[in-house]
Amino acid sequence: MVYIVGLLSLVFLVLAILVLTRLTSVLKGVNTDATTEESIGSSVNNRINGFLFLAFFVVGLIAAGWSFIHASQFFLPEASSPHGRHTDSLFWLTMTIITIAFVVTNALLFYFAFKYQYRKNHRATYYPENHKLELIWTVIPAIVMALLVFTGWRAWRDITKEAPENALAIEIVGKQFNWEMRYPGVDNDKLGNYNYKLIDAANSLGIDLEDETSFDDVTVSSEMHIPVNRPVLLKIRAKDVLHSVFIPHMRVKMDAVPGMPTRFWFIADKTTEQMRNETGNQNFKYEIACTEVCGQGHFSMRTTLVVEDEDAYNKWMAEQKPWLTKNPDYLARVPEKLKAKAAKYIPATPAETPADSTAAPAEGAGATTSASLR
Amino acid sequence: MATVETNAASSAVHVEEHDHHEELSFLRKYVFSEDHKTIAKQYMFSGIFWAIIGASLSVLFRLQLGFPNMTLEWLRPILGGWIDESGKLDKEFYLAMVTMHGTIMVFFVLTAGLSGTFSNFLIPLQVGARDMASGFLNMLSYWFFFISSVLMFSSLFIETGPASGGWVIYPPLSALPQAMSGSGLGMTLWLMSMAIFIVSQLLGGINYITTVINLRTRGMSFSKMPLTIWAFLLTAILGLISFPVLLSAALLLIFDRSMGTSFYLSEIYIGGEALPNIGGSPILFQHLFWFLGHPEVYIVLLPALGITSEIIATNSRKPIFGYRAMIASMIGIAFLAFIVWAHHMFVTGMNPFLGSIFMFLTLIIAVPSAVKAFNYITTLWRGNIVFTPAMLFSIGLVSFFISGGLTGIILGNSALDIQLHDTYFVVAHFHLVMGAASAFGFLAGVYHWFPKFFGRMMNSTLGHIHFWLTFVGIYLVFFPMHYIGIAGFPRRYYSFTTYEAFRTFGDLNMFVSIAAIFTFTAQFIFLFNFFYSIFKGRKASLNPWRSNTLEWTTPLHPGHGNWPGEIPPVYRWAYDYSKPGATDDFIPQNVPYSQTPESNLPHENALIAIEKEIEAQNYNDQFKQPH
């Protein structure tokens, strides 16, 4: 890192010196012959500016190359998901192509500027058009673009297609300023309905207890656990304003939109443990960030993601208590005919008396507009 | 030039026709002026004022990003309560500055400042018109812009702070005052200001289009128009079609904020209560916003490209290469600009199928853009290049256009955009291709047309120094920023210390900040040069760059109506530089082919026959109309 700063500072310095030397010589020129327009072209001015273009290109190219090599150690490591590795390779392929185009076109631009600078008694070539040339450089970019579009489109199609049947659906909900997750639980593989009007201090996700599949749902807000090598479908929603789920190492990003659930599925194929060994950083953690500005805490909506093998995941899952178990008061919200089913999630000795529990969940009128997330 | 004599002779005949115009009062002449040249200067000064504000804001938040541990207590006299108890920048104020920087730079500097200045100044002068089609509307356009500026400026000083949800003001964040304090009065002022700004843009745009279509001088057919005018015309058309859509987006947001409608709001639980709004869609706002927002990129960029075309041809002493291809690619870009907007929304949850369509359309834009870049480079080839400051800035613009444009190929690819969306890669991309390139277009235009604006020359040595410091500085700011983006750093983050993944690159962020402050400081060279030269600059000659376009046939200080006598007719295109056989290396547009038999191409000899016809038509001169 220090190298980059040092190198780029050097570039600064060199160019500053070049400019200063230019300045002194031009100032001389100003005193002597800069009074007529003719002298603009003929003065020493022109040669220095032409030279500076060339110098800028050469020094700039070296600085760009060197700083890139040094910066690349801080780039994110190889993606931990198959689709991420695919888009990474497309990224570097496109990057190679545009780097070539970047170097060639800038080289021509600066070289021509240097080469064809003003000479007295010289005439520029009257060269207004060349249809063949124009056709060539219309067609070549078009072909390259077509190729890139095609590869990009195939990757996009594969990433955005429907999640596989066996995918583990996890709900992730953004709010100012953290993420909350809901798992479908161990008894059935379904996330229960929700309704934003049911949200209150305890039921922060608006879980709808009129839906029996929600009884075993598990909510977590500290960290997200997912099994390795199994498709995970993120069902994404937002409670208040726009957020965006960003898992840098998985190359996952999708906005969370209030009123419009979104989704993104991916496969994590490296556990946190594996990454620790690969990166040599024993504290390595996968992280989840927010990339849609959402208010003053936008920069700190951090949640960690734990990728573990199937056994460890199942063990973790089994330790989690369903939301209803943690909030037995809400049994009152369960319709009469489902009370029996719900009862098995209620701990043997409820913490509160039934009288209190009827008072807590007061509203529920909006439940008819309930949006299904299944 | 022989033509100058002809004009002088004919001017004597007509001069009495319009000398009954009485002297205008100070207020009418300099403040509520209807003269396009004065209005252009008003836009220019406003643009420069806003640019200083916008750039200062960026320096402030670069301090936060580059030196997260620095105590900013010394800014308390200016920022007051926006510096919190620990001496650091307030987190919401950080977002407010980011928002205002974007808003100011995109709308007030690069839209109003760039188009407003040069469309107003150059359209009548280069097409050969006495003034804009409606001087009154033109005046209104500026003063609407002024009111809008006052509103936006005042929002910087209110207690709850200016709008702070990003310059894209996505609802629900911008719709709900309980989501952040900037979404209160600050956002109200933002929306009012933008609504008035749009009115100003529409009045201006209608005027530009009408003037170009109706008030071209004799012989100035569309195929002879300078590329600057083509660029301004297409820019105005883009604005005229897309700005009303932003107005509708803003109006619906105003309804949502103040009248309880639910256009953009649905199923929101905030501040401990569930809002009653159901059925709205935040995505709708994004569609409406980007329907303007994307053409806006070209509204900002096309005038800069037009200015560059003119300056590069003049100073290479060569015709612009592929004049028709340049027009075609500009039309292509302008058309495509309308059907690519959703590439800003690949990961917003929009239907992925739409994403593929917009990816196809987006990457097509690379083709006309590439053609333009190649044409600029070929124009330099075998030229006889004079490095005026304007020329340096134009070459710099082409370099930025290429460097920033190329990364657009990556971002336009929806699969690659997943990782890079809303990271610093995007920031680096659009600052190069849209921000820096357009700013260079503005600076190039100021340096090039300064003699026409003020009758004096800017100091070219200071101009050269200004260019090199700025050019190097901008690359030092935005080139390393790509690395930060590739590493996944999200934009609009107050600090990166929360995440392990984004804890690297602290030094590089510091470097970028230093480079930004350096570049900002270098602009004072320009400011000094600009203001000093207005009063003390060397007196300019009539055609200092030996250019072909009509503005250089006017007197040093063009008065009301621009030309004292008849408006010169036009016989040829604007790019007859270094024509084989000609005595000079330039032949202005108003020189008839009959006077240059030595350099005429075969098909041009045939055009001599219609010269009498061109001279005979004179219906566009407003001074000849009964009034």
Residue B166 near chain A (CB below 8 Å) = yes
Pick the residue of A145, A147, A301, A306 with the most B CBs within 10 A to test the interface with B by mutation: A145
Q: What is the pLDDT of residue A367?
A: 40
pLDDT tens, position by position, B322-360: 999 999 999 999 999 999 999 999 999 889 999 999 999
Greatest extent of chain B over all pairs of C-alpha atoms, in Å = 84
Contacts of A59 in chain B (CB under 8 A): none
Contacts of B198 (CB under 8 A, 6+ apart): B243, B244, B246, B247, B250
Residue B384: closest CA among chain A residues belongs to which residue? A118
Angle between helices A131-160 and B352-364 (to 10 degrees): 160
pLDDT of res. A122: 86
pLDDT in tens, A152-161: 999 999 999 9
Q: Which residue has the higher pLDDT, B302 or B613?
A: B302
Q: Is B492 helix (H, G, I), strand (E, B) or coil?
A: coil
Mean pLDDT confidence for A262-268: 95
Banded pLDDT at B511 (limits 50, 70, 90): very high
The three-class DSSP label of residue B117 is: helix
Structural domain spans, chain A: 1-75, 80-105+132-161, 168-346
Give the pLDDT mean for A166-173.
Answer: 94
- Residues of A in Cβ contact (< 8 Å) with B384: 41, 116-119, 122-124
The predicted structure's pLDDT at residue B616: 82
Verify whether the Cβ–Cβ distance B490 to A295 is below 8 Å. Answer: no
pLDDT in tens, A310-329: 999 999 999 999 999 999 98
More confident residue, B609 or A5: B609
**Interface probe, candidates B266, B308, B365, B384, chain A, greatest A C-beta count within 10 A:** B384
pLDDT value of position A19 = 63
pLDDT band at A142 (very low <50, low <70, confident <90, very high): very high
Of A40, A74, A296, the CB nearest to B460: A40
Cis peptide before B295 (omega within 30 of 0): no
Q: Quick one: pLDDT at residue B397?
A: 97
A10 has a chain B CB within 8 A of its CB: no
* pLDDT over 70 at B284, yes or no: yes
CA-to-CA separations, B614 to B7, B10, B564, B588, B619, in angstroms, rounded? 15, 15, 20, 16, 11
Please give the span between the terminal C-alpha atoms of chain A, in angstroms, as a whole number. 48
Question: Is residue A209 scored above 50 in pLDDT?
Answer: yes
- B27 at A interface, C-beta within 8 A: no
Round to whole Å and give the CA distance between B186 and B204. 27
The residue in chain A having the minimum alpha-carbon distance to the alpha carbon of residue B94 is: A296
Distances in Å between the alpha carbon of B482 and those of A85, B487, B489, B508? 20, 9, 10, 11
Write out residues 309-338 of A within 8 Å (CB-CB) of B: none
Measured CA to CA, the distance from residue A320 to residue B438 in angstroms comes to 56
ipTM of the complex: 0.91
Pick among 2.60.40.420, 3.10.420.10, 3.40.50.10420, 1.10.3720.10: CATH of A168-346: 2.60.40.420
Minimal Cβ distance to B415: which of A87, A141, A176: A87
Interface test with A, best of B286, B377, B392, B429 (most A CBs within 10 A): B377
Tell me which residue in B486, B541, B575 faces A75 most closely, judged by beta carbons.
Answer: B486
Question: Residue A3: pLDDT band by 50, 70, 90 thresholds?
Answer: low
3-state SS, B349-363, equals: CCCHHHHHHHHHHHH
Query: Chain B, 405-444: which have a CB under 8 Å from a chain A CB?
Result: 406-407, 409-410, 413-416, 418-419, 421-423
Phi, psi of A168, deg, nearest 5: -85, 115
A196 with B585: Cβ contact below 8 A: no
Asked if A89 reaches chain B (Cβ–Cβ under 8 Å), the answer is no
Instruction: Over range B107-118, report the average pLDDT.
Output: 95
Q: Domain ranges in chain B?
A: 28-266+274-536
pLDDT at position A359 is 40
For residue A111, pLDDT over 80 is answered with: yes
Question: Any CB–CB contact under 8 A between A366 and chain B?
Answer: yes
The answer to whether the CB atoms of A196 and B274 lie below 8 A apart is yes
CA distance A272 to chain B (A): 14
Could you give the C-alpha distances from A286 to A30, A252, A306, B93, in angstroms and in order?
61, 12, 7, 30
* Residues A314-326: b if buried by 16+ CB within 10 A, e if exposed: eebbeebebbbee
Contact B57, B104 (CB under 8 A): yes
Whether residue B568 is predicted with pLDDT greater than 50 in this model: the reply is yes
Please determine, for residue A269, whether its predicted confidence score (pLDDT) is greater than 60: yes
pLDDT digits (tens, 9 = 90+) for A15-47: 666 666 655 555 544 444 344 444 554 567 888
pLDDT tens figures, B189-230? 999 999 999 999 999 999 999 999 999 999 999 999 999 999
* Stretch 330-359 of chain B: residues touching chain A, C-beta under 8 Å: 347-349, 352, 355-356, 359
Give A301's pLDDT tier (boundaries 50, 70, 90): very high
Query: Is A169 a residue whose pLDDT tops 50?
Result: yes
pLDDT at B614: 87
Return the pLDDT at B73: 87
Q: Which of residues 25-54 of A touch B (CB under 8 A)?
A: 26-27, 30, 34-35, 37, 40-41, 45-46, 49-50, 52-53
Chain segment B377-400, per-residue pLDDT in tens: 999 999 999 999 999 999 999 999
A340 interface with B at CB cutoff 8 Å: no
pLDDT of residue B626: 58
pLDDT given for residue B146 in this prediction: 97
Query: Which distant-in-sequence residues (6+ apart) come within 8 Å of A104 by Cβ?
Result: none
Higher confidence at residue A368 or residue B160? Answer: B160
Contact B371 A137 (CB under 8 A): yes
Please name the helix (run of DSSP H) or strand (run of DSSP E) that holds residue B130, with its range, or none.
none
Closest chain A C-alpha to B372 CA, distance in angstroms: 10
Contact B44, B446 (CB under 8 A): yes
CA distance B178 to A177: 14
**pLDDT(A348) > 80:** no
pLDDT reported for residue A188: 82
CB contact under 8 A, B92 and A295: yes
pLDDT-derived band at B63, boundaries 50, 70, 90:
very high
Surface of A (179-198) touching B: CB under 8 A? 196-197
In the DSSP assignment, the letter for residue A343 is: H
Cα distance between residue A229 and residue A80, in whole Å: 10
Percent of chain A beyond pLDDT 90?
67
Provide the pLDDT for residue B406: 95
Interface contact A84, partner B, CB < 8 A: yes
What residues of chain A lie within 8 A of the CB of B398, using their CB?
109
- Measured between CA atoms, the residue of chain A closest to residue B383 is A124
Buried b (16+ CB within 10 A) or exposed e, B25-50: eeeeeeebbbbbbbbbbbbbebbbeb
Inter-residue contact A11 to A59 (CB < 8 Å):
yes
Nearest-CA neighbor of B184 among B175, B192, B171, B197? B175
| B135: confidence class by pLDDT, cuts 50, 70, 90 | very high
Asked if residue A307 has pLDDT above 60, the reply is yes
With vertex at residue B303, the alpha carbon angle to CA B388 and CA B318, rounded to the nearest 5 degrees, is: 45
For the B28-266+274-536 domain, the top CATH level (class) is mainly alpha
Q: Mapping DSSP to helix (H, G, I), strand (E, B) and coil, where does residue A189 land? A: coil
For residue B218, give the 3-state DSSP assignment: coil
Contact residues, chain A, for B257 at CB < 8 Å: none
Residue with tokens 């400042």: B113
Chain B, 557 to 596: residues with Cβ < 8 Å from chain A are: 575, 577-580, 585
Q: What is the pLDDT of residue B72?
A: 87
Q: Does A280 touch chain B (CB under 8 A)?
A: no
How far apart are alpha carbons A306 and A317 in whole angstroms? Answer: 12
**What pLDDT score does B615 carry?**
85
Instruction: Kindly report the average pLDDT of chain A as a whole number.
Output: 85
Q: Which of residues 450-489 of B touch A (CB under 8 A)?
A: 460-461, 464-465, 468-469, 471-472, 475-476, 479-480, 483, 486-488
Which residues in B lie closer than 8 A to residue A258 (C-beta atoms)? 172, 265-268, 282
A299 touches chain B (CB under 8 A): yes
Quote the tokens at residue B471.
């050019």
Which amino acid appears at position A187 of this protein?
D
Q: Report the chain A residue with the minimal C-alpha distance to residue B89.
A: A296
- How many angstroms away from the CA of A271 is the closest CA of chain B? 16
* Residue pairs between chains A and B whose CB atoms are closer than 8 Å: 393
The average pLDDT across A205-220 equals: 92
Task: State whether A41 and B386 contact (CB < 8 Å).
Answer: yes
Question: B478: pLDDT confidence band, cut at 50, 70 and 90?
Answer: very high
Chain A closest-CA separation from residue B144 CA (Å)? 31
Task: Report CB contact under 8 Å: B383, A112.
Answer: yes
